[in-house]
Amino acid sequence: MKPSSSTSDLFGPLFTDPAVEAEISDGAWLRAMLDFERALAIVQARAGIVSEEAARMVVTAIDVGHYDPAELGAGALTSGTPVVPLVRAIGAHVTAEGKAAVHNGATSQDVLDTALSLVAFRALGPVLDGLRGVAKECERLAQRHRDTLIAGRTLAQHALPTTFGLKCAGWLVAVDEAVDNLTRVRHERLAVQFGGAAGTLAAVNDPSLTDQLAAQLGLAAPLIPWHTNRTRIAELAGALGAVSGVLAKIAQDVVLLAQTEVAEVAEAEGGTSSAMPHKHNPVRAVLVNACARRVPALVSTVLSAMAQEHERAVGAWHSEWQTVTELLRLVGGGVRGVRELLSRLRVDPDRMRRNLELTGGLLMAENVAVRLAARIGRAEAQDLVAEVCRTAVLSGRSLRVALEADLRIDLSPEEIAEALDPAGYIGSAGEFVDRALAAHRERPGR
């Protein structure tokens, strides 16, 4: 069985991870389909439904036979799935007795749904490993920059001072939550499928075979066949979509912080331009964002496929195969990109501190108002400080100068200086970082 992949040689390396790609290729799908057929023969022999010799022939045919994804794909045009030509190919390698154990009691959707679960389960191994690597980098940055001051920005404008460590702790918590969700889906929701032609298992009439198949393949065992209940696939797509969103948030923050006018972080390598020798673009963050922009439409495709007709849908489940494959590919690429990005991220604390002063102290206006409120009331303090801020902007003076010049400001120069110190107004930022780090370190198997 030769490996096969549908990813592009030209663009593929930009948007995927080789470890994930190996688990979602055509060869990986074919291996998963064959794994189902092998397991089916084994458990039916154990149950006495087929002979041990027949099952042994099927296993041998699967293990030593040559099955070409391209040939199976070409042969699928008459049936709508590659399962029919695959079953015929397996049957061609066994005797008449062996044919009784090939695909016995199963339907094409049993094979492909189980294969989808297997492909996803296997691909999520390197995806989750990569996410844990991303979390490790977030942990490192949060710890190192616990107290590194940076301007907090709301609606893209300076808001209040915060710390870069808290920003990284926010990334860390989001990644950990995404790992938890994806792990739950992997172990609890990716299930074997075995219902036969109409979900009744009429041909074998033994529901315990489903549990045995699940144990043989390492997948969850469903309560009943789920041919037209696609909540499992929807949960997988949703979990992958959430991971992509978490990664996109990190990449977007890096892009914004790396702008020339901001220059608080930078990617350590790459970023060249074909036309401008001076450019140092945040290339990895750009590629992560490119992956993430394609994910929502794929998730939407999976969700739109949930409304399925009666006991077998007319095309909806067919639409999931390549859609889920591409979701896994793009999320794998995004994970790889963010891990590489954060592992070599250059952080400039001095630039962060200088940028805090860009507005001449205006981002500390709330602290001034808080201190004044104890003397003149909250509403009056807010209005007065807002007026002084407008005066400072119009006159081109710093907020400190404007406050000291306004006789209505009942604060001493020392109190004003203290109120305008960003380090004194970061609230519980340090404690929040500590809580995020502690929670991460307590995670099992991190």
Active site amino acids: 273, 312
| Whole-angstrom Cα Rg for the chain | 29
Residue partners of 385: CB distance under 8 A and separation at least 6: 365, 368, 369, 372
Burial per residue of 379-417, b for 16 or more beta-carbon CB atoms within 10 angstroms, e otherwise: eebbebbeebbeebeeeebbbbebbbeeeebebeeeebe
Residue 365 host element (H or E): helix 365-376
Give me 142's structure tokens.
């949060």
Which residues, at least 6 apart from 166, have a Cβ–Cβ distance to it below 8 Å? 142, 429, 432, 433
Residue given tokens 């002063």 in the structure block: 357
Give CA–CA dist 298/166, Å, rounded.
32
Contact 128, 136 (CB under 8 A): no
Residues 6+ apart with CB under 8 A from 418: 424
Residue count (the chain): 446
Instruction: Give the DSSP letter string of 264-312.
Output: SEEESS----SS-TT----HHHHHHHHHHHHHHHHHHHHHHTT---TTS
